Amino acid sequence: MPLVNGKYLLKNAEKFKYGQAAFNVNFVDQIDAAIEIHEIMHAPLLIQVADPALGFFAGVYDFKNSTIEDKKRGAKLVADYVINKAKDTKIPIALHLDHGRNFEVCKACVDAGFTSVMYDGSSLSFEENITNTIEVVEYAKKYDVSVEGELGVLAGVEDDVRAESSTYTNPIQALEFAEKTKIDYLAISYGTKHGSNKGKDVNLSTEIVIAIRELFLFNNVDCQIVSHGSSTIPRYLVKDLSKYGMDIENTEGIKIEQIKKAIRSGINKINIDTDIRMATTRNLLEMFEKDESYKLNKYYKFVYEYLMDNRGDFDPRSSLKPFMNEAIEGFSDKDKCIKDAIKKAVYEIMSQIIVEFNSLGKI
List residues with catalytic annotation: 98
Cα end-to-end distance, the chain, whole Å: 12
Sign of dihedral through CA atoms 35, 1, 112, 329? Answer: positive
CA distance 44 to 269: 12
State whether residue 104 is helix, strand or coil: helix
State whether residue 4 is helix, strand or coil: coil
339: left (phi over 0), alpha (psi -120 to 50) or beta: alpha
From the centroid of its chain, how far is CA 241? Answer: 21
113: left (phi over 0), alpha (psi -120 to 50) or beta: left
CA distance 359 to 363: 8
CA distance 57 to 193: 26
CB 24 within 8 A of CB 50: yes
Q: Which residues pair with 112 in a beta bridge?
A: none
CA distance 288 to 307: 11
Helices 126-141 and 171-181 pack at an angle, to 10 degrees, of 40
Least Cα distance to 343 among 287, 292, 259, 270 occurs for: 287
CA distance 202 to 256: 11
CB 18 within 8 A of CB 359: yes
